Amino acid sequence: MKQSWEGPLNKIDEHRWEIPKTYKFGMRVPGLIYASSNLLEKIRQDQALEQVANVAFLPGIVGHSIAMPDIHWGYGFCIGGVAATTIDNGVISPGGVGFDLNCGIRLIRTNLTLKEVKPKIELLVNELFRAIPSGVGSKGKIKISYNEIKNVLRRGSKWAVERGFGWEEDILFTEEEGCMKDANPDLISKHALERGKPQLGTLGSGNHFLEIQVIDKVYDPEVARELGLEEGQITVMVHCGSRGLGHQICTDYLVTMQKAVSRYGIQLPDRQLACAPLSSPEGKNYYAAMACAANYAWANRQCIMHWTREVFARVFGSTPEELRMRLIYDVAHNIAKIEEHSLEGKKVKLCVHRKGATRAFPPFHPGIPEKYKKTGQPVLIPGDMGRCSYCLVGTEKAMEETFGSTCHGAGRAMSRMKAKKEARGRDIQQELREKGIIVKAESRGTLVEEMSEAYKDVSEVVEVMHQTGISRKVVRMRPLGVIKG
């Protein structure tokens, strides 16, 4: 998959490009790519655009096979891909959700300033690293039975809050209020439960992180004020997913879906796009199992946020309430949702696959909290650990063009293997320290794989979304301290 992509690409405008439906016989819709010319050069370097074209073969796909500016090659779908399929004759594809089901981001505000936090940043990072288990296969502090983990899968964030991990209001500021109602734990293998049971409340490894940040730029003061954000304020971002449980659910259902492709006579250009009709037993079962993993991930981030609040309270000799450590929002990245959208002037229910993409609902959408009705849904876009992250808001344009979706991060620019090669002999931790960023990780290897150069520049990615009106910039945050697996 190293060769660059040479297929046809029609320029629509400065930031939008189309793969014509005529590119491959069997494409049901065109491909639509959001990117600047500069980002497009990077995107062409792998086969992500071929995957965009392949996704257009899915039965029941409508509109476009969509790619965000942070796309890169993934399993079946590219990471940074969006596809909507009809409920009646469309399919659901695990490749369109990904292995780390409901990998997502939550942003926590505080009333602390840079002046207050800077002298204690090293202590904070060390204490957070101690309090929050991280790393490959890490096991958590929460000991639960098989019956109890099924409750986690049914109830999501609500399970965590009911057990004292957080505040009632946290639920309101979580996508889906932290719980997809269709979850059915009986459709999950024992192996998936075994993998998930010890890992609740753990950060994991790879690109997952907990980051202490300072808001260093405000683009929209009015919206920022509504969200409770201002320049110089300290925020915390948590990025993690459903751990081994989600990975196992995806692995298990890919086997089911491979058989379903033959059973339902579905023609696909890539076996990794294995899928089943949404109306079929296989399709319904996958959706209900995926919902379990989504709920687990929300509970996971909820627990991590609770311990983060405790650490801040301890370090600053205060309480989380006094520090005003409120959740701004929690968004899912890898998920499929049944949502209502306008299609050819009619309201229809669609299954929207967002793989490495963020929901971006506009002002007054019924699916967002009352508090954000005027502003639109907060959209959280993390960058790499050496640059910056953003908070944006969703727009009506996103509903019209991308099924209420936007980008999810910087997007990898080089493989983990290549990053290791490029960083030979370098001390990434020391380089970041010299930039004023304190980083603590379980392994040196993680820091090398996650170095800034391994990613596209998130500011460039976000600018495309802002310029096209898909989501609007509100504030920018730069990192001060990071913990990684």
Per-residue model confidence as pLDDT tens digits over 232-247: 999 999 999 999 999 9
User: Is 333:354 a contact under the CB 8 Å cutoff?
Assistant: yes
pLDDT at position 2: 55
Q: How far apart are CA 381 and CA 155, in angstroms?
A: 26
The CATH number of the domain holding residue 367 is: 3.90.1860.10
* 5 part of a folded domain: no
| pTM to 2 decimal places | 0.97
Does the residue 71 lie in any domain? yes
Give the Cα separation of 41 and 2 in Å (integer): 14
Summarize pLDDT for 241-281 with one digit per residue, the tens.
999 999 999 999 999 999 999 999 999 999 999 999 999 99
389 falls within a domain: yes
Band of residue 1 on the pLDDT scale cut at 50, 70, 90: very low
pLDDT tens string 311-349: 999 999 999 999 999 999 999 999 999 999 999 999 999
- Give the CA distances from residue 441 to residues 251, 256, 482, in Å, rounded to whole numbers and listed in that order: 28, 37, 8
Q: Tell me the one-letter amino acid at 458.
A: V
* Domain membership of residue 440 as a residue range: 10-484
Alpha-carbon span 212 to 420, nearest angstrom: 26
| Number of structural domains in the chain | 1
Q: Is residue 85 part of a domain?
A: yes
- Is residue 297 a part of any domain in this protein? yes
Residue range 160-187, pLDDT digits in tens: 999 999 999 999 999 999 999 999 999 9
The per-residue pLDDT for range 340-352, each reduced to its tens digit, is 999 999 999 999 9
Strand partners, 471: 394
Q: Which of 306, 333, 408, 466 is catalytic?
A: 408
Does residue 1 lie within any of the structural domains? no
Point out which residues pair with 393 in neighbouring strands: 378, 472
Query: Is residue 2, in this structure, part of any structural domain at all?
Result: no
CA distance to 52, 100, 357, per residue, from 381 (Å): 22, 17, 10
pLDDT band at 442 (very low <50, low <70, confident <90, very high): confident
The DSSP string of 163-184 is TTSS-HHHHHTBGGGG--TT--
Question: What are the distances in angstroms from CA 37 to CA 13, 259, 340, 399?
Answer: 10, 41, 33, 24
Give the CA distances from residue 415 to residues 122, 241, 407, 420, 448, in Å, rounded to whole numbers and listed in that order: 30, 21, 19, 9, 11
Q: Please confirm, yes or no, whether 408 is among the known catalytic residues.
A: yes
- 3 within a domain of the structure (yes/no): no
